[in-house]
Each structure stands twice: as structure tokens, then as C-alpha cells.
Amino acid sequence: MPRELSVSRIVTLVILTVLVVALGFLFVQVMSGFLLPLFLAVLLTILFHPVHLAIARRLHGHERIAAGVTTLLILLIVLAPIVFVSIRATNDAASFLSSEGGPRINKKEFGRLIKDVNDRFDLDPPIDPALVIATIEAKAKEWLSPIALKTPAFIGNFLINAFVTVFALYYFLADGEDLVAASSRLVPLESKYQSQLLARFVEMTRAVTTATLVTALVQGILASIGYYFAGFEGVILLMILTIFAAFVPIVGSAIVWVPCSLWLLVEDHMVVGIVLAAWCLSVALIVDNLLKPMILHGQANLHPLLALLSVLGGVAAMGPIGIFVGPMAVAFLQTGLTMLNLELDNLRKSQIAKR
């Protein structure tokens, strides 16, 4: 009878394991499209948790009302400026590109630039300015047309993701402790280790977010100095666009300052264009390779080399979200190894005690 009971339990355990794995896989497939907005909601919850606690204290512990007030505050501080800047940038880009087929090029100045290149390098046969301009305009149409066609779908996905982020943010603020407690009961790990991992996750989230935001702001502000002295109008808009571009993996702020530098070259301001490109490139290299690893090292206790490689490797493996996941994975590995070493030490001590 005990043997039959043991076999029955083993069969039950196997069936439950297979069922959990299958349902877990299905759950990941269902939720995969919302991982980014949910992750963003978690980041905002952690960053604004002290603010939420202060609001809850003023409202005498009314968590639901406090969560609603905090969510509205985050919308005003974070999401509303993003939406405003996106609309502003879209309108400016549309007005620039709207004219019957694409960006206008000063053909007279461009022709003079091509002529200078032909004369300086004694090209034979010389470059035809009309052919170059036609090629640029054709490529612009080729690249921009798919973007224009995908814009409605992009806006729709953006609105859905924004709604999911706000919805999840409210419930994470209102029921965060209950959700963490319920999840911890389902994880087969001692509570002290769960607490360590959770504390490490909060620490890394704040560190990585701070490093990313600070470096983006520094790049935008310093690049805007270059835009100002280069004679661009709308420096504030260019600065904001550069800040947002700094979040894009690999290319980063070059999305903004490279076209600006090329435009100066086309407009026959070669020296200014080269100086602007050199200035912005120097800023990007220093900020990404020195400042960000230093902040991560200081706040997250990651070695500067590990901090740099974790960001670059995370982006290469997972795309934009790898900026956050990469350093977190390295930090969790360090924490996990510490826990493992502690358990091995306890095991060795227990074996020695038995002897």
C-alpha cells in the first residue's frame, strides 16, 4: 500500500510538472506581446514607490486612491511629455517631408559642393550633382514610404501598450505587496533568498534606470550646445529628440546629430558640420563608455568592465530592453553565486559536524 501511494504521488508530480510547463509556455506566448509595457510598468512602480508611500501616508492609508493619484502624477511627469514630444517631432518631420515627394535639397549649394569635390580631387569622370540629388530623393522616398504605411499600425500599438502600461502601473502600486507575497508562495526558494533577489532587483532597476536617464540627458544637453553654435533653429526640439535617441541601442544619439552634420555639409558649411559631428561623437563615446559604467559601478556595485559589457551584450541579445536586462542578469548571477556558496558552506559544515 505505501508503495502504491508513493507511485501515485510520483505520477501526480510528473503530471503536474508537465501541466505547469505546458501552461507556462502557453502563458508566455499569450503575454509575450505585453512584456515591454509590463516591464515599463514595473520600472515606473519601483522608481515612484517612495512617492507613492508619501501620498498614501497623506491619504491615511487609502491605497487605491493613493495609487490613482500616483498614476496620474506619473502620467503628467513621464508619459505626457513623451506623447507631446512625439507629436511635435512627427508634425515637424511631416512638414519637412510633405512636399510632393520628400526633403528639399538646396540644389544650388549642393551643386557647388559637388563641384568643389570634383575640382579638389580632380575626379574623372566628375560626379554629376543632378544624378546624386535624384538618387538621394529616390532613396528618401524608398525609405520613408514604408514608414508612412506603418504609421497607423505603430500608433495603434503605441496606444495599446500605453494603456497596458498605465493599467498595470495602477495595480502594481495598489496591490504590489500582495502580488509579491502571492508570487513568493509559488516559488520553491527560501524566503530569505527571495528577499535578497527582490532587493537586488529593486537596486539594479534604480541603478540602470538612473544611469540610462542621466547619460541620455547629458548627451542631449551637450549635443544641444553644438546645435546652438552650429546655427540650427529649434535647438530645444533637437535636444529632446537627441535625449530620446540616446535610448536607442547601438546607434543612439547619432540618429539626430549625423543628419544634422550631413545637412550642414550639403548647405556648404563643411567646417561647422565636421566640428558638430566630432563634438557629438566625442560626447557619445565618453558618456556611453565612461559615464554610464561609472554610474552602474557606483550604484549597483558592478565592475565598470562588467557594466559596459552587460549593457552591450544585453542590447545585442535582446534589443532595447537589453539595456535593463543585461546588467540585471549579471547582478542576479552574482547574487545567485553568493547564495550557492553560502549553501555549499552550510552543507560542508553540517557534514563536518556529523563526523
Give the tens place of pLDDT for each residue, 106-124.
566 667 777 777 776 677 7
Q: How far apart are CA 324 and CA 47, in angstroms?
A: 14
DSSP letter string, 200-264: HHHHHHHHHHHHHHHHHHHHHHHHHHHHHHHT-S-HHHHHHHHHHHTTSTTTTTHHHHHHHHHHH
For residue 103, what pLDDT is reported? 46
> pLDDT grade, residue 99 (50/70/90)?
very low
If you average pLDDT over residues 241-266, what whole number do you get? 81
Rounded to 5°, angle at Cα 143 from 138 and 144: 100
Q: For 336-351, b where at least 16 C-beta lie within 10 A, e where not — what string?
A: eeebeeeeeeeeeeee
Q: How far apart are CA 47 and CA 74, in angstroms?
A: 10
The amino acid present at 141, given as its one-letter code, is K
If you average pLDDT over residues 71-89, what whole number do you get? 75
Distances (CA, A) of 220 to 143, 224, 228, 276, 283: 26, 6, 12, 13, 10
pLDDT score of 235 more than 60? yes
Cα-to-chain-centroid distance, residue 103: 29
pLDDT score of 302 more than 80? no
Max avg pLDDT among 109-113, 269-273, 295-299:
269-273
Q: Peptide bond preceding 125: is omega within 30 degrees of 0, i.e. cis? A: yes
Q: How far apart are CA 20 and CA 263, in angstroms?
A: 57
Cell of 90: 512627427
Q: How far apart are CA 46 and CA 44, in angstroms?
A: 5
The amino acid present at 156, given as its one-letter code, is G
Burial class (CB in 10 A: 0-12, 13-18, 19+), 143: exposed
Residues 6+ apart with CB under 8 A from 345: none
pLDDT score of 194 more than 70? yes
Q: For 78-89, b where at least 16 C-beta lie within 10 A, e where not — what string?
A: bbeeeeeeeeee
Q: How far apart are CA 303 and CA 347, in angstroms?
A: 30
Domain ranges of the chain: 1-110+124-186
Cell of 280: 557629438
Q: How far apart are CA 262 and CA 308, in angstroms?
A: 30
| Among the listed residues 215, 231, 230, the one whose alpha carbon sits nearest the alpha carbon of residue 292 | 215
Residues 6+ apart with CB under 8 A from 180: 198
If you average pLDDT over residues 60-88, what whole number do you get? 80
For residue 106, what pLDDT is reported? 57
> In the chain, what is the straight-line distance between the N-terminal and C-terminal CA atoms, in Å?
36
Distances (CA, A) of 117 to 107, 109, 207, 256, 273: 15, 13, 49, 25, 16
If you average pLDDT over residues 313-331, what whole number do you get? 73
For residue 109, what pLDDT is reported? 64
Distances (CA, A) of 113 to 105, 110, 140, 263: 12, 5, 20, 12
Residue-averaged pLDDT of the chain:
76
Cell of 162: 500605453
For residue 140, what pLDDT is reported? 62
